[in-house]
Amino acid sequence: MSVPSGWPGRIRPAPEHFLSQEEVRAVASGRRDFLRSAFALAAGATLAGRAGAETAQGDPAILELPEWSTTLGRPVAATPYGLPSQFEKALARRQSPGLTRVPGSSVAFTPLQGLFGIITPSGLHFERHHQGWHDIDPRRHRLMINGLVDTNAVFTMDELMRLPPVSRIHFIECGANTGMEWGNVAVPTVQYTHGMLSCSEFTGVPLQVLLDMCGADFKRGRYILAEGADGSSMTRTIPMELVESGEVLVAWGQNGEMLRPENGYPLRLVVPGVQGVSWVKWLRRIEVGDQPWGTKDESIHYVDMMPDGLHRQYTSLQECKSVITTPSGGQVLLDQGFHNISGLAWSGRGRIERVDVSVDGGKNWMPARLEEPVLPKALTRFNCDWVWEGRPAILQSRAVDETGYVQPGYGQLREVRGSASIYHNNAIQSWKISEAGEVSNVHIR
């Protein structure tokens, strides 16, 4: 593969500073001048070590041997648990100030704009807690199974981890992801628009195996209730068909090591394709029952207010969706010429079949390359060549999944769902590029 028109154009990353409420409001009201000065200040501080803004052409320093070529390096195990380079500090989970009243019941977003491939590094996996997180002692943690079963059971971690494990790569997306966009808030960066999204390799035992061990009554018991051990006692009803598909895991592993405490250590439920709230963390109990429980977490949250004033409930599947992560909001194209458009696509119904990219706000579309691996209910990375000629552009991506479902535009989505929703927004995202190369979030019907 070759770069179409010579040397690729440079991109200045978005300033990785906290966005104040004033900045969010500035973007919402179109006051771009305010943000431009914020970018200028923050960019100098954060760009030093990030590829993209510098060029080696004509740099005399390239002829001098740097200290790392002439001195002894640090010894092995200087950091027993490896950490990212000091030059990558700006790449971090961030919370949106003012989004929630208390940080214990809040969200920290994954910096999608700075990641490659499909796996989210565990330390950058988004976090969403209803009542804060704990680092639970695995020796004291138990999983209880009760309800419509022959034998009630209580498992220790040791007992669970002796069962035959499976490892699978899946995305997790909070049902509230992209929620602010319903209200045309147009938050500035992809971290805040789409960053309640991560993808990991999870290791655990299929829940079906545990239910078989307990002699579950699969005929009458068409639902399970999953319950977490945190103070919120998070509870979610999950249909038994999903468990019977063998996909639902009682997982302890994430990307080759134990789950991180923020993500449910030592045990969480993995419910591929289903909104994040059903992936109950710090999992302590599974009950088998013959009807949905309708607990507080499922009757007042993660439901969709429809145009007829009724709530749509148990819409747990995350529909097909995609987003361009580069170039994306807050970044600046510094040069005309070749730019790689890169992004992520995913579907709760299975594999991604294709992704099309538009650079003119949806008038024309070109197919993007899907990078391997393309796995069911996992993130899929796409790339697309583009030559920017310095003119204003509107970048969009539109994904199609293996069932033929096509990601809708805002107009199509609002026709069915109205405008009172908070959750389950899978509309096409638009990034506007100005003549000056500045990338910003815009709404296109």
Residues interacting with ligand MTE, by CB under 6 A?
125-130, 172, 174, 228, 230, 232, 234, 262-264, 276-277, 279-282
Cβ distance to ligand MTE smaller for residue 268 or 432: 268
Name the β-bridge partners of 438.
332
Task: Quickly tell me which residue has 């970018």 as its tokens.
Answer: 39
Cis peptide before 84, with omega less than 30 degrees from 0? no
The residue (of 12 and 129) whose beta carbon lies closer to ligand MTE is: 129
Q: Is 299 helix (H, G, I), strand (E, B) or coil?
A: helix
Side chain identity at residue 140, one-letter code = R
Of 356, 377, 352, 354, residue with least CA distance to 365: 356
Q: Indicate left, alpha or beta for 243 from its phi (over 0: left) and psi (-120 to 50: alpha).
A: alpha
Indicate the residue among 114 and 337 with the shorter CB distance to ligand MTE.
Answer: 114
Please say which residue, 105 or 245, places its beta carbon nearer to ligand MTE.
105
The CB-of-430 to ligand MTE minimum distance in angstroms stands at: 25
Tokens of 206: 């299929």
Give Cα separations from 430 to 11, 358, 440 (angstroms): 18, 9, 9
- Of the candidates 378, 354, 352, the residue with the CA atom closest to the CA atom of residue 365: 354
* 26 vs 270 by CB, closer to ligand MTE: 270
- Give the residue nearest to ligand MTE (CB): 228
Residues 413, 416, 420, 425, CA torsion sign: negative
Distance of closest approach, residue 199 Cβ to ligand MTE, in angstroms: 11
CB 214 within 8 A of CB 224: no
Least distance to ligand MTE, CB of residue 283, Å: 7
Q: How far is the CB of 176 from ligand MTE (least distance, A)?
A: 7
Burial, 334: exposed, middle or buried (Cβ in 10 Å; 0-12, 13-18, 19+)? middle
Q: Can you tell me whether residue 376 is helix, strand or coil?
A: coil
Smallest distance from ligand MTE to CB 75, Å = 35
The strand pairing partners of 199, in sequence order, are 171
Q: Find the shortest distance in angstroms from Cβ 332 to ligand MTE.
A: 30
**Closer to ligand MTE by Cβ: residue 197 or 368:** 197
Supply the minimum distance, in Å, between the C-beta of residue 427 and ligand MTE: 19
With respect to ligand MTE, which residue has the nearer C-beta, 130 or 351? 130
